[in-house]
Amino acid sequence: RGTEWKYGICESLGWPHADQADIARAWKHILGRVDSYADLEPQFLGRVEELIDFVTAQH
């Protein structure tokens, strides 16, 4: 809690995350390697779907 999620992901992966330029490079790298949900491992895909359901639910 208290950590912006993109910074937290970069930190967890051990990638630079000191400023917005670091975050932009990281996401450009990630998005350059993923074309669709089919690129995700099945067990990870389920978690992504849960996250999407959570953030799109009306609270």
Amino acid, single-letter form, for residue 8: G
pLDDT higher than 80, residue 10: yes
pLDDT tens, residue by residue, 15-43: 999 999 999 999 999 999 989 888 888 88
CA distances from 24 to 4, 11, 41, 45, 47 (A): 14, 14, 24, 23, 23
Task: Give me the amino acid identity at 16.
Answer: P
Q: Structurally, how many domains does the chain consist of?
A: 1
CB 6, CB 26: distance < 8 Å: yes
Per-residue pLDDT averaged across 9-19, rounded? 95
In 1-59, at which residue ranges do the beta strands (DSSP E only) sit? none
Look up the pTM and report it. 0.63
Q: How many residues does the chain have?
A: 59
Q: Which domain holds residue 26?
A: 5-56
